[in-house]
C-alpha cells in the first residue's frame, strides 16, 4: 500500500485552487469594471452643468413627443450652441422620469446602461439626460411645465 500523497493528487489540488482563484478573479474584475463605469455617471460638476442647461434653455416647459426625445438647439435661445460647446455636450435627451419600456436598439449601449442605472424615486414627470464628450452622463428631474 502506498502512503503519503502522489504527484497526481498534488496536481488535482493545484488545479482546484487555480479554478477557484480564476472564478474569484472573474467576480472581482466584474465589480471593478462596474465601479469604473459608475464613475462616468452623475459627476457633481456635470449635474450643475445639466442644471444650468435646464435653466438657460428653459427646458421645464419643453414639449416632449414620445418616451424619449433627443433635443438640439433648433428653436431654442440664441446662446444655446455656445453653452453646449462650453459644457462639451454631445447629446441631450428628455425622457419620461419612470422610463421602463423603450426601444433600446435605437440608442447607444452607453445610454441604455445609464438609463438602467437610474433610480425612479422622486416626484418628477420627466428627466433631462445629458451625454458629454467624454462619454459621461448626468441627469436631473424636471417638474412642472406644459408637457404633451
Residues that bind other proteins (CB under 8 A): 1-7, 10-11, 14, 17-18, 21, 39, 43-45, 48-49, 52, 55-56, 77-79, 82-83, 86-87, 134, 136
Q: Which residues pair with 141 in a beta bridge?
A: 127
Least separation in angstroms between residue 79's CB and other proteins is 3
**Closest CB to other proteins among 26 and 79?**
79
Least separation in angstroms between residue 66's CB and other proteins is 29
**Closest CB to other proteins among 17 and 106?**
17
**Closest CB to other proteins among 78 and 109?**
78
Amino acid at each position: 500500500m502506498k502512503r503519503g500523497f502522489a504527484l497526481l493528487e498534488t496536481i488535482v489540488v493545484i488545479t482546484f485552487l487555480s479554478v477557484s482563484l480564476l472564478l474569484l478573479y472573474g467576480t472581482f474584475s466584474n465589480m471593478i469594471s462596474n465601479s469604473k463605469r459608475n464613475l462616468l455617471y452623475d459627476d457633481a460638476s456635470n449635474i450643475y452643468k445639466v442644471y444650468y442647461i435646464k435653466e438657460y434653455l428653459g427646458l421645464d416647459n419643453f414639449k416632449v413627443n414620445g418616451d424619449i426625445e433627443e433635443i438640439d438647439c433648433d428653436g431654442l435661445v440664441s446662446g444655446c450652441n455656445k453653452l453646449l460647446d462650453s459644457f462639451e455636450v454631445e447629446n441631450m435627451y428628455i425622457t419620461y422620469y419612470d422610463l421602463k419600456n423603450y426601444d433600446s436598439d435605437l440608442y447607444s449601449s452607453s445610454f441604455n446602461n445609464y438609463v438602467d442605472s437610474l433610480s425612479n424615486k422622486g416626484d418628477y414627470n420627466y428627466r433631462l439626460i445629458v451625454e458629454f464628450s467624454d462619454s459621461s452622463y448626468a441627469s436631473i428631474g424636471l417638474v412642472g411645465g406644459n408637457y404633451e
